A and B are shown apart, each in its own frame.
Chain A
Amino acid sequence: MPIQRPRASDLADLGRFSEPALLVLASLAEGPKHGYAIMQDILEFHGARMEPGTLYGVLARLETRGWISPLPIEGRRRPYRLTTAGAAVLQAHLTVMQRVVSTGRHRLEPQGSRSAL
């Protein structure tokens, strides 16, 4: 069976859930977390409050795609962890974002300071 390389556009396939999915994947890159901890972490590093309906819509989609996997339930909470496939998709997306950021920053620089370089 051919191995498909992850593409940054894999995340874009999630439509309106692509940005929240990126935030959830980035949060889980630190280690396994349950829903509330993911919401708190995203609020901390991104500043946006993700609502529960959106969070679970994202978790279901990421789980269906095999990018995250559920761990055994702890009390009433279930932690999730990033899978190898999920890490590869996140890495591919971040690489593209990094390129966009550096290009954008470079082009925003005043003409004079650019030519001086």
Chain B
Amino acid sequence: MRLLRLYPRAWRARYGEEMLALLEQHHLSVRTRINLLRGALDAQLHMRGPIMSGNRRPTVRWSLLVALLPSTFVVVHWVCQLYPFPGDSTLWDALVILGMMVAALAATWAGTSAQGMGGRLPDSAVAGGLVGLAALLIAWIVS
């Protein structure tokens, strides 16, 4: 079953054999194939790691990722202040603001994605926001 190859390796190791056994009894309609494609995409986005009962690992992973994004842009902004861009510095400021907006969107997306896999929106977004604020505070104190 080629479509199962689209699922992450950890997923196939855990569910591959039983899913294959199920598919052998199931009529493979177009609807089923589309559903499997959608399932593979979902698994690739949310279940790449080892699948363990009752754990909350995805939340931790997403929180770290979300926390890194705002921090990265704060560091970039700080470096830009130390080494000014030759020419119009407002361009850099605009880029940093844009970056922060992208980071905020990514935080919301990551939090939403973590939902249903043991994660909740506040877990990721709050963690990301707090670390981002901490990085901003450190950058302000140092500068």
Contacts and interface: CB of A to CB of B under 8 A. Distances in A.
B120 A64 contact: no
Interface of A: 13-15, 17, 34-36, 39, 51-57, 59-61, 63-66, 69-70, 73, 75-78
B42 A57 contact: yes
Contact of B22 (A13, A36, A65, A73): A36
Given A51-B31, A52-B32, A53-B39, A64 B117 contact: yes
Interface of B: 11, 14-15, 17-23, 25-26, 31-32, 35-40, 42-43, 47, 51-55, 58, 112, 115-118, 120
B126 to A, nearest CB: 16
Contacts of B39: 52-54, 56-57
30 contacts: A14-B116, A15-B112, A15-B116, A34-B18, A35-B21, A35-B22, A36-B21, A51-B36, A52-B19, A52-B23, A52-B35, A53-B32, A53-B35, A53-B39, A53-B42, A54-B35, A57-B43, A59-B15, A60-B14, A60-B15, A60-B43, A64-B51, A64-B52, A64-B53, A64-B55, A66-B53, A76-B17, A76-B18, A76-B21, A77-B22
Secondary structure of the B contact surface, majority rule: helix
Contacts of B15: 56, 59-60
B18 A51 contact: no
Contact of B116 (A13, A36, A55, A76): A13
